[in-house]
Amino acid sequence: MELFLDQLESPIGAIVLISDGEALRVLDFVDCEERMQRLLKIHYGDKVPVRDSRASADIKRRVIAYFAGELTSVDEIGVRTEGTPFQKLVWEELRNIPAGTTISYGELAKRIGRPNASRAVGLANGSNPIAIVVPCHRVIGANGSLTGYGGGMERKRWLLEHESAQRSLATVSLAKL
């Protein structure tokens, strides 16, 4: 297997995209390279070459569209991750959280059929290698507070505000029809 790395500018900083030529494997922020390298090593070991390349035009187009306000544009990006079966279950469920909404770790644990596993869900959420597309930023504390985010709390806040604002605009536009 070979992985391909590309970068993309965004309103919240430069983004690194790593794909296998078919599916997205990593989406992280350039200034989080240490975390990204750690996750790559955990998930793929030292033997998988990562070379500079152009990411799939479709992946880039969809991420750019997300930042332009088309929040569901990332929903169709194919992803492929390595991780434990539990992590993969959590990451799959994250993709079912609609843009512009949030849920708690406890609610996410219930949705995967493990209502007492909110801490384990939090750990799996924190190990998510595909930010934004696998929207771990949509998970918040039970009391509504923002909790940790691998890309930093300012980015989490920005992403949630971006999604909320776009959802509000869509609601207003539909109401005018």
The span from the CA of 112 to the CA of 65, in Å, is 30
How many residues in the chain? Answer: 177
Task: Show Cβ contacts of residue 78 under 8 Å, excluding neighbours closer than 6 positions.
Answer: 22, 23, 24
- How many CA within 13 A on the CB side of residue 175? 6
Task: With beta carbons less than 8 A apart as the criterion, state whether 31 and 39 touch.
Answer: no
Q: Is 136 a catalytic residue?
A: yes
The span from the CA of 32 to the CA of 46, in Å, is 19
Element (H, E) at 68: none
Q: Of the listed 18, 136, 139, 160, which one is catalytic? A: 136
Active site residues: 136
